[in-house]
Amino acid sequence: MKSPVPIAPAAQSSVAEQKRGFAILDSERWLGPLLIGPAVIYIFLLVGVPFFMALYYSVSNTTTGGGTMGFVGLRNFTAVIGTPKFQTALKNTIVFGLISQAVILVLSNALALALQHEFPGRRLIRFLILLPWVAPISIGTIAWLWIFDSTYSVLNWMLRLAGLIHGQGYMWLGLPHLAMGSVIAVHVWRQLPLATVILLAGHSSIPQDIHDAAAVDGAGFWRHFFQITLPLILPISLVALLFGLIFTFTDMVIIYNLTRGGPFDTTQVLASLAFYTGIAGGDLAEGAAIALFLFPLLLAVALGFLIIAHRSEVT
Amino acid sequence: MATVETREIRKFFGDIAAVNGINLLTRDGEFLVLLGPSGCGKSTLLRMIAGFEKPTDGELLIGGTVVNDLPPRARKIAMVFQSYALYPHMTVFKNIAFPLKAQRMSKALIPQKVDWAASLFGIGHLLARKPRELSGGERQRVALARALVREPSVFLLDEPLSNLDAQLRASARDELQQFQRRIGTTTIYVTHDQVEAMGLGDRIVVMKAGTVRQIGTPQEIYAEPADTFVAGFVGSPPMNMVRHRDYTLGFRPENFHPKILNGNTKVVGFRFSVTRVEYLGADRLIYGTLIGDFSDQKVIARLPATVTVKIEPATSYDFTVPESELKFFDTATELRIAPRPV
């Protein structure tokens, strides 16, 4: 046996130092908290603190002017619930959310089904479909603002060209139902890419053998879709729907840019009403109360969906 | 009941020919095995018969009618997949009932048919379970029951045993054959496992690179291989191939024995230098090279355990092969040729 080669003292000490440096990184007790720490701090400062502030604001009498921060109990809630402005906004939020999500689910399913198949230019189409999601939303909405413009509307021009309307054309954002329809259309345009991508992932997770088995077992298109494909992508569809609903209930960019809640508050939703009341109107407390109104409901919806998604296991 | 026929059938993926001109005709009620290494086109051929792939060229007939343009569901076939492809969100009952519902069978009849199919495979007690609650063997039976339940005219099986462990595979093979004999439905079975092919098939179709190299009974394939590929692919260890003059000489390891064992028959002798002896229980495998006329070509001998002749590594022995067991192949074309004096 040979004796081990002696190590020079300098080299030995540097090895020891290195060891100490690695010791922290090697220890699970320290490495874990070290790595997750920044994320926790980030979430606490940017999500946690504002959320709890909003909770407190909603039961206080604070305004943007500052000053008082007195506790007033549920007065903000009781005061706002009775107002027609709030009730319209609540109704609009539900209409806006449900209709847009229903349309998105149907369209994204159709798109995902179509994009499953190989065809020339599939990559280009997939890329184009993703565009509304990656484009800055404000810019996209402003483009839509021009499309819906009362005088220069491209939409009216096209309809006129197609011989479907004559004369002046529609005031897309100026009439209550048309305005709501337009806002929903833009919202669908905006959210469709994400839902499609989620469902595409869901579709590709179904093994080809299952589809082949259904084909050889005699299933036609509808039976195949409703009895095989749909149940298998149900969990991931629910995730898409959950994201979509929460996003819809909390977002106001499209409404802010297109209609500012008008005409006559017919497109006002809770998120935009909270903004106009709390920030533009200065009544921070009432704004917070409006913004938080849907929170318990959304929480329940989210929990329900997650439970269903968890139950309908797919293997 | 029906026959399956392919006429000059071809399938190209881009420039690559996965199946290149195959002519095949099953007999009624036959168990036909497609055997070949992976990538030989056997699965593509099966998928064309099922209707999942459209042939680039050629005709496909089931029961005498051209079915090239028929979708899978109109072909009266049933298929068992390697993955079993059970519907994961349905119970076993619903899985088996699915083809019946798709056929619009009356609701009253469906439970009877499902019970009948389930009892054939002994899975009656599993009907309420979901596929994920079943073992591999049980899943395989459910897949078979689902395929059988609507009494198809042709069964297609794509490596249905390859996901089972070795022990289960042997018993499943046995059951599968008995079941096929009983119902007598024409069956096409794809596998890369020659033991399965030999054990199950009435006839075996050996494929390579999209073409058929030989069709025959297991005995024919084994004893009279049509070319060097078949000779080398079937049998374990494979047939010994020895270059000699302008041809290739083939002989099975079990026919390559020490001289003293081949007594009265006409034999051809070889000088065999042993490098390694492998003891396998029932057999001994003896690895080495030929010396003399066939210099330095590797061969294997297989001696049953009943032969107790002492064989040692690093020693040379006189070995012989009965003349009748020598197969001759053309070196250039690899095809079988008539016997000639060695």
Q: What sign for the dihedral angle of Cα B58, B62, B67, B70?
A: negative
CA A50 to chain centre: 19
Domain ranges of chain A: 31-314
Cβ–Cβ below 8 Å for A215 and B87: no
Confidence at residue B23, expressed as pLDDT on a 0 to 100 scale = 92
Q: Which residues in chain A show pLDDT less than 70? A: 1-22, 67, 312-315
- CATH tag for B237-337 (out of 2.60.120.380, 2.40.50.140, 2.60.120.10, 3.30.360.10): 2.40.50.140
Interface residue A222 vs chain B (CB under 8 A) = no
Rounded to a whole number of angstroms, the CA Rg of chain B reads: 24
What kind of architecture, by CATH, is found in domain A31-314? Answer: Orthogonal Bundle (1.10)
The answer to whether A216 contacts B89, with C-beta atoms less than 8 Å apart, is no
Q: What is the pLDDT of residue A21?
A: 62
A227 to B73: CB separation less than 8 angstroms, yes or no: no
**Per-residue model confidence (pLDDT) at position B328:** 93
Question: In angstroms, rounded to a whole number, what is the distance separating the alpha carbons of residues A92 and A24?
Answer: 55
Asked if A308 reaches chain B (Cβ–Cβ under 8 Å), the answer is: no
Whether residue B50 lies within 8 A of chain A, CB to CB, comes out as: yes
Contacts of B81 in chain A (CB under 8 A): 209, 212-213
Note the pLDDT tens digit of each residue in A206-229: 999 999 999 999 888 899 999 999
CA separation for the pair A64, A73 (Å, rounded): 19
**How far apart are alpha carbons B285 and B302 in whole angstroms?**
5
Contact B140, B176 (CB under 8 A): no
pLDDT score of A244: 86
B99–A contact, CB cutoff 8 A? yes
Residues 165-204 of A with CB under 8 A from B: none
Tell me if residue A48 falls in helix, strand or coil. Answer: helix
B50 contact residues in A (CB cutoff 8 A) = 212, 216
Residue among B75, B83, B98 whose CB faces A209 most closely: B83
Query: Element (H or E) spanning A159, and its range?
Result: helix A154-161
Closest listed residue to residue A86, CA positions, set A260, A221, A286, A230: A286
Q: Which candidate, B200, B186, B225, places its Cα nearest to that of B24?
A: B186
Could you tell me the CA-to-CA distances from A301 to A99, A241, A274 in Å, in that order?
17, 10, 21
What's the confidence (pLDDT) of residue A102? 92
Rounded to whole angstroms, the Cα distance separating B107 from B18 reads 43
Q: Do B52 and A213 touch (CB under 8 A)?
A: no
The whole-angstrom separation of Cα B197 and Cα B214 is 13
Fold equal for B4-223 and B237-337: no
Q: Which two tokens stand for residue A278?
A: 């709390």
- B160 interfaces chain A, CB cutoff of 8 Å: no
Which of A216, A232, A312 lies closest to B78 in CB terms?
A216
Listing from the earlier edge strand, what are the strands of the sheet with B65-66? B16-25, B4-13, B57-62, B65-66
A135, A144 in Cβ contact below 8 A?
Answer: no
**Regions in chain B scoring below 70 on pLDDT:** 1, 262-264
With b for 16 or more beta-carbon neighbours within 10 A and e for fewer, the B275-309 pattern comes to: eeeeeeeebbebbbbbeeebeebebbbbbeeeeee
CATH topology of domain B4-223: Rossmann fold (3.40.50)
| Strand order from edge to edge, sheet including B327-330 | B240-244, B247-251, B327-330, B336-337
Using DSSP's 3-state secondary structure scheme, residue A60 falls into strand
Q: What confidence score (pLDDT) does residue B268 get?
A: 87
Q: What is the 3-state secondary structure (H, E, C) of chain B?
A: CCCEEEEEEEEEECCEEEEEEEEEECCCCCEEEEECCCCCCHHHHHHHHHCCCCCCEEEEEECCEECCCCCHHHCCEEEECCCCCCCCCCCHHHHHHHHHHHCCCCCCHHHHHHHHHHHHCCCHHHCCCCHHHCCHHHHHHHHHHHHHCCCCCEEEEECCCCCCCHHHHHHHHHHHHHHHHHHCCEEEEEECCHHHHHHHCCEEEEEECCEEEEEECHHHHHHCCCEHHHHHHCCCCCCEEEEECCEEEEECHHHCEECCCCCCCCEEEEEEEEEEEEECCCEEEEEEEEEHHHCCEEEEEEEECCCCCCCCCCEEEEEEEEHHHCEEEECCCCEEECCCCC
Contact across the interface for A212 and B87, Cβ inside 8 Å: no
Closest chain B CA to residue A314: B88
Q: Where are the domains of chain B?
A: 4-223, 237-337
- B242-296 confidence digits (pLDDT tens): 988 888 999 999 999 898 876 667 888 889 999 999 999 889 999 999 987 777 7
